[in-house]
Amino acid sequence: MIEIKNLHAAVNGKEILKGINLKVNAGEVHAIMGPNGSGKSTLAQVLAGHPAYEVTEGTVTFEGKDLLDMEPEKRAQAGVFLAFQYPVEIAGVSNSYFLKAGLNEIRKSRGEEELDSMQFLKLLKEKMKIVEMDSSFINRPVNEGFSGGEKKRNEILQMAVLEPKLAILDETDSGLDIDALKTVSAGVNKLKSPANATIVVTHYQRLLNYIVPDFVHVLVDGRIVKSGRKELALELEANGYEIIKDEINALQTA
């Protein structure tokens, strides 16, 4: 589905990603772990097309197309979704207007008919059940005054409505208590299918108890230094990033 080759990216002239290689197939869940500042979130933002990051080298192919050549909205229309670590608050504009605008653009790009307000509302209410969100959120301004947990639920609701092929979850567990974590994870799991893929970016193993990855990659200083199956996440949890000390040392002396 997505193939990242030798990806380098910089922000304000400072190189953060230093040659990422990653291939994700449909039906797979990949976890990207790593210490703070390793470039996990940068990778997520670069894939979604954040304008602050400059790709200096490498390629990203999404379903055969050059992802890096596309504007953020075109990437969304192609089926890429980023669940933000810090969702943006937008006063005055209702959740439903915002989501309808996005969904209809995506439908248009696929040659599908746009949904009218009634059709959209019906769909939205169905999707809200997945993340156990109260219907009062339909007409509330986007994320304004939402608690941390409500914002993250709202991200997964957006994912449920937009039905992406590739979902990238950026630190979706941060700021969540255990109940909210369970609800959000259950939502993500319900949306999983053999046709779509998920990249979970997280600092802690905790989330991976609920969203079980097929593959785990450890990112250090802008490079993937170790990859493995889900057991790798448990090892990291038990022993910390100590177990990849050799790989880190190798990077630093290189």
Residues that bind other proteins (CB under 8 A): 48-52, 71-73, 75-77, 81-82, 84, 87-88, 90-94, 97-99, 101-103, 105-106, 109, 139-141, 144-145, 158, 162
C-alpha closest to that of 1 among 83, 62, 89: 62
Do 24 and 2 meet the contact criterion of CB atoms below 8 Å apart?
A: yes
52 vs 254, which CB is nearer to other proteins? 52
Distance (Å, rounded) from C-alpha 176 to C-alpha 184?
9
> Which stretch of DSSP H or E encloses residue 73?
helix 72-78
Give me 88's structure tokens. 């943006």
CB of 55 to other proteins, least distance (A): 15
46 vs 220, which CB is nearer to other proteins? 46
What's the DSSP call for residue 111?
A: T
Distance (Å, rounded) from C-alpha 171 to C-alpha 64?
28
In angstroms, how far apart are the furthest CA atoms of the chain? Answer: 61
2 conformational bin, left if phi > 0, alpha if psi -120 to 50, beta if neither: beta
Do 63 and 16 meet the contact criterion of CB atoms below 8 Å apart?
A: no
Do 211 and 200 meet the contact criterion of CB atoms below 8 Å apart?
A: yes
CB of 172 to other proteins, least distance (A): 15
Beta bridge partners of 114: none
CB of 8 to other proteins, least distance (A): 21
46 vs 248, which CB is nearer to other proteins? 46
**Contacts for 177 with CB less than 8 Å, ≥ 6 apart:** 149
Do 172 and 208 meet the contact criterion of CB atoms below 8 Å apart?
A: no
Distance (Å, rounded) from C-alpha 225 to C-alpha 254?
13
98 vs 241, which CB is nearer to other proteins? 98
